Structure 1
Amino acid sequence: MTSSASADLSRLLFDGRYEQTHQDFHKLLLDPVFDPREGLNMTEAGKLAYQRSRAVHAALERPREILADPWRLFALAEWPALVDVSIFSLLMVHYNLAFGTVVEHGSRDDLNDLFDELDGLDSFSPYMATELGYGNNVAALRTEAVYDAATETFVLNTPDALAQKYMSYSGFQDIPKLAVVMARLKADGRDHGVFPFLVRISDGNGLCEGVHAAPCPEKPVQGLDNGLTWFDHVRIPRRNLLHGDMGGFDEEAVFRPASGNQRKRFLRAMSRILPGRLCVSSAATGAGRAGVYIALRYAVQRLTNAPGRNDLPVIEYRSHQLALYTALAKTYAMTLLVNHAKREFTGAPQDSVPPEVNHLVSITKALSTWEMTEVVATCRERCGAQGIFSANRIADYGSLLQGLVTAEGDNQVLLATTAGQIIAQSGDAEEPGTSPDPRGRDLRDPAFLVAALRHRERELLRAARAAMADDSQDRTYFEAWNGTINSALEMARVRGVRTALDCLIAAVDGAQNATARRALGLLAALYGVTEVRRDAGWFLARGALTAEQVEGLPRVADALCAELREYSDVLIDGFNLSPELLRAPISADDYVAAFQQWTGAVGPAAARTAEGG
C-alpha cells in the first residue's frame, strides 16, 4: 500500500516525467566525485564545483540537446545542487543563460567553432549582464561595444566604475572562460541598444589582454569565483556579435537593427531570463524537498523526554509536527505550482510568451524561493545543533536559497513589476465583490479555503486599481504607485498562493491511490488553513470568516497534523530521494551510527572493547 501510494505521489510531484527526465540524475549523483569533502578552503571548494560540473556534463547529453528539452533543463537545475549547492550557479549560467543565448542568437556557421567549444565545455561561459552601479537594471547598463569599420572589430570598453560587470565568474583565471557579455552596441555614431557578445575572458593561462578582474568578497558555503570584471578597449571580431533576428550587418558592412524599438530588442536579447526563473524555482523546490526529507527522517529517530517517559521521538510533539508538516505542505504546494508554471511555459509560443504566462512564471519564482527559504530555515531549526553542520545539508540549502531569492530578478522588484502589469490590465467591473459565506463551512474544506483566498486576491486587485485610477489628488505616477506598491505586492503573492492551492486540490483529484489521495487532502487543508490564518484579521473584518472560525484555526491545524503523522513516511518517499544520495548523517536509517562514522568516533562500547573492558 505504501509503495503504490509513494509511486502515485511521485507521479504527481514529477508530473509523470520521473523515469524519462529525472531518474538518471539519481544514479549520477551517487558517483564518488560528489562525496562530501571537509576542510576545503573557499578556493578549493570552488575548484571542486567546477570539477563536479564537468562530471555532470560528461554524464549527460550535450547542452544543445538539453536546451532543446526544457523539462530536461529544469531537472538539471533541480538535482545536482542537492549534493553541492555551488553547482547550480555554474551549470545554469553556462547551460541556460550563456549557451542558451548563443543557441538562440548565435547559431551561425561562422560561429561553429565557438559553439562547439561551449557545447563541449572546453570553456565555461560566464554571463555578464549586471553592472555594479545598476544592479538588475540591465537596460541602463553602460558597458559599450563600439564598431570599428576599418578593422571589422568591436572595441569593448568599461567607461567607469559603475559599469563594471558584477558577480560574474571571472576569478579563477586558470579556467578557460568564453563569456556572453551584454554591452551597448554603437556603430556609425548611433547607440543601437544592448546586445550580447561572445568575449574570451581567460584562456587557461590567465586573463586575456585588456580584461581585468577582482574577486568579490567571500560568500558563506559557496566558494565560487564571483568577481568584478572590466574591459579596457578589448577588440573582439565582428562575428562575436550575437545579433540573431535583432539586426545585422548589410553588404556595405553597415549595422542595421531590426524593426521595433530598443526595448523590444533588449527583451529579445534577454530571452533566457524567463526559463531561468523556472530553473531557479526548480532548484528551490528541490532543496525544499530535500530539507524536509532530512528533517522528518531525523525527527522520527531523535529521542526526547516527555512526562512519564524519556524515549519519545520528537516528531510526536504537536509543536514539532506543526512546524515540519506545514513545511511539508508548503513544499508540496510549491512543487505543484512550479510544475503548473512549467507546463504553461512549455506550451506557449516561445517567440511570444503571453503576458499571463509571464506573470505566472514571475510570481512562481518569487513565491517558491521565498517559501522554500522559510521551509529550509524551519527544518534547520527543528534539527537543532545537527542542522548547523554542512554535512547534514540543510544549512547549505539555506545559503543556496538566499542566492535564489535574488537570482533572475530580485524577488521584491520582480513581484512589484508583475503586480504593476496585472493592475494595468483592463479588468472586470471594479465594484467590491461578495465574500464567500462562511456560515456552516468546514475549515478543513480546501474548496472553501481557496474561495476565501480568491476573494482576498480580487479585493486587493480591485483596491489597487482604484487607488491608481484615483485622480482626485494631485499626484505624480510614482507617488500613486508608491502608495499602492505594498498592497500590490500582497495581491501578487496571494495570487500565487491561491494558484498553488488550486494545484494541490487538482493533485488530490488526480491521485489514483486512496492513501495518496487521503494524504494529499490533509496537506491541501493544512496549506489552506495556514495561508488563511496568516491574514485571519482581514477575513474576519470582511465577513469571510466568523469569529468562531478564526479562533478555531489553530485547533484545526493541530488536528490536521495529528492525522498527517501516519502519512509522513509515504509523503516524503514520494520525493524519490535516499540517504545514499544525500549523504546526510541524520537522514540515515541509524543516524547515531552514521554520525559516529562521519566524525570517526568509535563510541563508548567500542572503546571499552578496544581497551579490553
Structure 2
Amino acid sequence: MTPQPTPALPPAVTDALTAVLLGPDFHREHAFWRRLTTTEPFRSRPGATTTPEEQLVRAYDRLRLINRSLDSAARLASDVRALTAMHEWLGPVDPTLATVAGIHYNLFLGSLLDHDPEGRRDLSGALHMDEVGTFLCTEVAHGNDATEVETTATYDRARDGFVLRTPHAGAQKFMPNTSPVGGPKSGLVAARLVVDGTDHGVFLLLVPLTDADAALPGVRVRRLPARMGSPVDHCLTSFDDCFVPRAALLAGPQGHVGDGGEFAGALPSRRRRLLVSLARVTPGKLAMSACAVGSARVALAVAVRYAGHRTVAGPRGTGAVPVYAHRTHHGPLAEALATVFAMSLLHRRALDRWEAGAGEADRGAAERLVAVAKGWITWQARDVIVECRERCGAQGLLEHNGLAALVTGIEGTITAEGDNLAVHTKAAAEMLLSAPGRAADGEAGEAQEAPGGLRDPAFLRGLLTELEALRFARARSRMGAAPPGDALGRWNAASGLALRGVEAHAVRQAAEAFAEARAALPGGLARERLAEVERLFLLRQVGQGSGELLADGRVTAEQVRALPDLYEEAVATVAAHAPALVESFALPDELFAARPIAGPAYADAYDDSEGPWHRSPAHSAEEFAR
C-alpha cells in the first residue's frame, strides 16, 4: 500500500498537536527559546567550517548572550520548565551550548540558590556571568557511586575554613568544564567533609577554579583528550591544599559546621545527606530528556523532508518517485514519528509529576519516573536519530546537514546525569521490591478480548500493563529460586528481567500519556491524527512483547496472527500524514535553511560556478565537436 501524502493540516489542528507535544503554554515555556535560535548569533552557515576549539569559544559567547537576554538568571535557574525548554531548543542547535548552559544554570546556580533560600550568599558574579559555573562530582574512579568520592575537604580551625586535597589519581575530578576557555570558572566540588578527624560524608563546596588565563593556586586543571560528540572543555581537576572559607560549604538539612567549628546535621544517613546535596541532578535528568526529544524531532523533520525531495526510479513505466513512496523508506520514519510523540508525551508526564510531587513518598515516585523516562527517552532518541541519518544516506553523513552532530551528540545525554543502565538498574531494584504480586511463570491468565479488541487502545494499554507485571513477577520468581546467602547472585538472577520490566514501565507510562492527551482534545481532526499515531505506537509495543503475552495466556494465537496486518495498516495511515504531522514540532524555517537536504533545492549546495553546465549551449556544443 503506497501512502498518498495528505495536504498540510489546518493551522488550528497543527497548533493543537503542538500543544500536545510542547504543553498548553507554548508562549511562556518555549517561544523565547524558539525565537532565540532563529537570531543571527545562533544561525548555522551552510558550508561554513569551524574547528572544535572555535565551536567551544562560540558556545561560551552564546552563553553570555543568553544571560544578557534573560530577565533574571536566578528565575531561569529556579524554573525547571524553563530549564527543560531551553534544552529542548538548544540541544539540536548547539549541543555544546546546551551542555555548558545546563551546568551553569541548573547544577551550579540552581544548587547555590536551593541551599541559600534567604539570599545571604553573594551570587552576583554567577548571575551576571562574570564567572561561569561548573560542577565537580564524578571522579576517575567514581561515577554513579558518588557516595564513594575520595576528594577531601578537611576543616581547618585556625583559618576557619576547609582544605581540599586530591589523595590519588583516581580521585581527580573527571570531565567538568574547568578550563579557562570561556572566562573565569567557579565550581561546586563534591568532597568528603572531615571535621576533627571524623568523615561526615559527601558535601558540596563553592571553589574558585580559574581566572581568565589559568588555574588558581591549589587547583590543577588538565584538558582531557577529545571525545566523540560536541566539543566541551572537559578536564581532569585536582586540588593541592586548596583553601576555601567556611562559608563555601553548601549547608542545609544535610548538615553544617557551626561558628565553633562543630559539625551538626539533621540527617543521620550519609546517603541522604548526599542526595540533598545533589538534588539538582533530577532536574538535570529532565534536561537530558528534553535535549533528546528536541534532537529527535529535528532529525525526523529533516529526514521526512528529504524523503519527499529525493527521487528514485519507480517501477517500470512510472517514472521517478520520491523515496518516501517506498514502504521500506516511509515505514521506519512512521515508526520514528510514533516514537517521537511517545518520547515527548512521556517527557511532559515526568515533568508534570516532578513539579506536582509534594510529600516525600510522592517525590520519590516522581524522581523514579524522571529517571526511568530519562533512560528510555535518550535510548529511543538514539535509535530515531540513527534511523533518520541512515534514511538520508550519504547526505546524512555530511556535517552541514546537521544529522552527524546529532548522532554523536545523543551519546552525551545517555551518559550525563547518571548512565542510563545504572539509572534503570536502581529503578529496577526499587520496583522489584515494591511491585505488587502478579501471575508468574506457570500461572497463566485468561486472554480477554476488550470490546474493540486489538483495535481498542484501552485493550492494548492493558496488555502493556500485563507485560510489565509479568516481567517483574518472573524476576521475583527467579530471585526467590536463587541460592540463599548470595545477595549478588540473587540480584544477577533477577536483574535481566527486572530491567525489561523497567522498559515496559516506561512504555506503559508513555501509553497512558497518549490516552490522557487524546482525551483532552476535543473531537475532530487533531484528535483523529493523534489517535492514529497512538495506535501505531501501541501495536508496535504489543507486537514486540507478543511472545511473552501469548505464552502467559494474555492474548490468543489468532490475535498474534492478526497483529502484523493491523500494524501495516497503522504504518500506512501514519506515513500518509507524517509530512504534515512534523509541522506540529513548531521548528522554525531558519533551522531548515541551515540544512541543505531539508529543502527541495538541496543539490544547489553543491553547485560549482565554474562547472561546465554553466557554459552556453553553443560553447558546449563547439567543445564537444572538437
TM-score, structure 2 length as denominator? 0.92
Query: Which shows bigger deviation, 498-507 or 366-375?
Result: 498-507
Residue number among 600, 604, 607 corresponding to 2:614 in the alignment: 607
CA distance in 1, matches of 2:88, 2:418: 19
Aligned to 1:357: 366
Tell me the amino acid that sits aligned with residue 170 of structure 1: T
Residues 1:525 and 2:535 are matched in the alignment: yes
Residue number among 505, 508, 516 corresponding to 2:515 in the alignment: 505
- RMSD between aligned residues: 2.3
Aligned to 2:470: 459
What is the correspondence of 1:372-451 to structure 2 with a 5 Å cutoff? 372-425=381-434, 427-428=436-437, 432=443, 434-438=445-449, 442-451=453-462
CA distance in 1, matches of 2:53, 2:559: 55
Secondary structure of the residue aligned to 2:228 is: coil
Secondary structure of the residue aligned to 1:8 is: helix
Aligned to 2:10: 2
With over 3 angstroms needed to count, the CA separation of the structure-2 counterparts of 1:436 and 1:273, relative to structure 1, is farther
Residues 1:314 and 2:323 are matched in the alignment: yes
Q: Percent of pairs identical after alignment?
A: 29
Aligned to 2:153: 145
Tell me the amino acid that sits aligned with residue 443 of structure 1: L
Tell me the amino acid that sits aligned with residue 572 of structure 1: V
What do the CA deviations read for 1:236-263 (whole angstroms, capped 9, x no partner)?
1111111123222334232323342211
Residues 1:555 and 2:565 are matched in the alignment: yes
With over 3 angstroms needed to count, the CA separation of the structure-2 counterparts of 1:2 and 1:157, relative to structure 1, is same
State the Cα distance separating 1:303 from its structure 2 match.
0.7
What is the correspondence of 1:83-122 to structure 2 with a 5 Å cutoff? 83-107=93-117, 111-112=121-122, 115-122=123-130
Secondary structure of the residue aligned to 2:23 is: coil
With over 3 angstroms needed to count, the CA separation of the structure-2 counterparts of 1:344 and 1:433, relative to structure 1, is farther
Aligned to 2:623: none
CA distance in 2, matches of 1:370, 1:349: 29
CA distance in 2, matches of 1:85, 1:106: 30
Secondary structure of the residue aligned to 2:202 is: strand
With over 3 angstroms needed to count, the CA separation of the structure-2 counterparts of 1:428 and 1:513, relative to structure 1, is same
Query: Which shows bigger deviation, 497-506 or 427-436?
Result: 427-436
State the Cα distance separating 1:590 from its structure 2 match.
2.4
Residues 1:335 and 2:335 are matched in the alignment: no
What is the correspondence of 1:111-190 to structure 2 with a 5 Å cutoff? 111-112=121-122, 115-173=123-181, 175-190=183-198
CA distance in 2, matches of 1:69, 1:346: 10
Secondary structure of the residue aligned to 2:518 is: helix
What do the CA deviations read for 1:192-234 (whole angstroms, capped 9, x no partner)?
1111111111011211012112222212341211011111111
Aligned to 1:61: 71
Tell me the number of residue pairs that the alignment of Structure 1 and Structure 2 aligns. Answer: 607
What is the correspondence of 1:65-76 to structure 2 with a 5 Å cutoff? 65-76=75-86
Aligned to 1:42: 52
Residue number among 362, 366, 370 corresponding to 2:379 in the alignment: 370
Query: Which shows bigger deviation, 354-363 or 283-292?
Result: 354-363
Secondary structure of the residue aligned to 1:443 is: helix
State the Cα distance separating 1:313 from its structure 2 match.
0.8
What do the CA deviations read for 1:464-523 (whole angstroms, capped 9, x no partner)?
23333447x334111100111010000011011011012112222222362222211111
With over 3 angstroms needed to count, the CA separation of the structure-2 counterparts of 1:109 and 1:603, relative to structure 1, is same
Residue number among 88, 92, 95 corresponding to 1:78 in the alignment: 88
Secondary structure of the residue aligned to 1:168 is: coil
Tell me the amino acid that sits aligned with residue 349 of structure 1: A
CA distance in 2, matches of 1:554, 1:108: 60
What do the CA deviations read for 1:111-143 (whole angstroms, capped 9, x no partner)?
21xx11111121111100000011221110000
Tell me the amino acid that sits aligned with residue 410 of structure 1: D
With over 3 angstroms needed to count, the CA separation of the structure-2 counterparts of 1:604 and 1:57, relative to structure 1, is same
What is the correspondence of 1:237-276 to structure 2 with a 5 Å cutoff? 237-276=245-284
Tell me the amino acid that sits aligned with residue 527 of structure 1: F
The answer to whether the Cα contact below 8 Å between 2:484 and 2:490 also exists between their aligned partners in 1 is no
The answer to whether the Cα contact below 8 Å between 1:152 and 1:237 also exists between their aligned partners in 2 is yes
CA distance in 2, matches of 1:158, 1:218: 24
What do the CA deviations read for 1:296-350 (whole angstroms, capped 9, x no partner)?
1111111111112332111111111210000000000110011111111101128
Secondary structure of the residue aligned to 2:209 is: strand
Secondary structure of the residue aligned to 2:176 is: strand
CA distance in 2, matches of 1:603, 1:20: 50
TM-score, structure 1 length as denominator? 0.94
State the Cα distance separating 1:610 from its structure 2 match.
11
State the Cα distance separating 1:463 from its structure 2 match.
2.1
CA distance in 2, matches of 1:532, 1:495: 13
Tell me the amino acid that sits aligned with residue 457 of structure 1: E
With over 3 angstroms needed to count, the CA separation of the structure-2 counterparts of 1:35 and 1:571, relative to structure 1, is same
Secondary structure of the residue aligned to 2:586 is: coil
CA distance in 2, matches of 1:610, 1:218: 51
Residues 1:278 and 2:286 are matched in the alignment: yes
CA distance in 2, matches of 1:175, 1:437: 64
With over 3 angstroms needed to count, the CA separation of the structure-2 counterparts of 1:207 and 1:173, relative to structure 1, is farther
What do the CA deviations read for 1:59-114 (whole angstroms, capped 9, x no partner)?
223221113322111101111122111111101111111111111114565521xx
CA distance in 2, matches of 1:565, 1:159: 58
Secondary structure of the residue aligned to 1:484 is: helix
With over 3 angstroms needed to count, the CA separation of the structure-2 counterparts of 1:331 and 1:426, relative to structure 1, is closer
State the Cα distance separating 1:583 from its structure 2 match.
3.6
What do the CA deviations read for 1:346-405 (whole angstroms, capped 9, x no partner)?
011287753221221111011100111101111000111111122222221122211111
Aligned to 2:588: 578
The answer to whether the Cα contact below 8 Å between 1:8 and 1:513 also exists between their aligned partners in 2 is no
With over 3 angstroms needed to count, the CA separation of the structure-2 counterparts of 1:13 and 1:110, relative to structure 1, is closer
Tell me the amino acid that sits aligned with residue 569 of structure 1: P
Secondary structure of the residue aligned to 1:79 is: helix
The answer to whether the Cα contact below 8 Å between 1:173 and 1:202 also exists between their aligned partners in 2 is no
Tell me the amino acid that sits aligned with residue 72 of structure 2: R
With over 3 angstroms needed to count, the CA separation of the structure-2 counterparts of 1:262 and 1:278, relative to structure 1, is same
Aligned to 2:306: 298
The answer to whether the Cα contact below 8 Å between 2:511 and 2:534 also exists between their aligned partners in 1 is yes
With over 3 angstroms needed to count, the CA separation of the structure-2 counterparts of 1:259 and 1:562, relative to structure 1, is closer
With over 3 angstroms needed to count, the CA separation of the structure-2 counterparts of 1:349 and 1:433, relative to structure 1, is farther
Tell me the amino acid that sits aligned with residue 458 of structure 1: A
Secondary structure of the residue aligned to 1:155 is: strand
Tell me the amino acid that sits aligned with residue 104 of structure 2: H
State the Cα distance separating 1:428 from its structure 2 match.
4.7
Unaligned runs of 5+ in 2: 1-8, 621-626
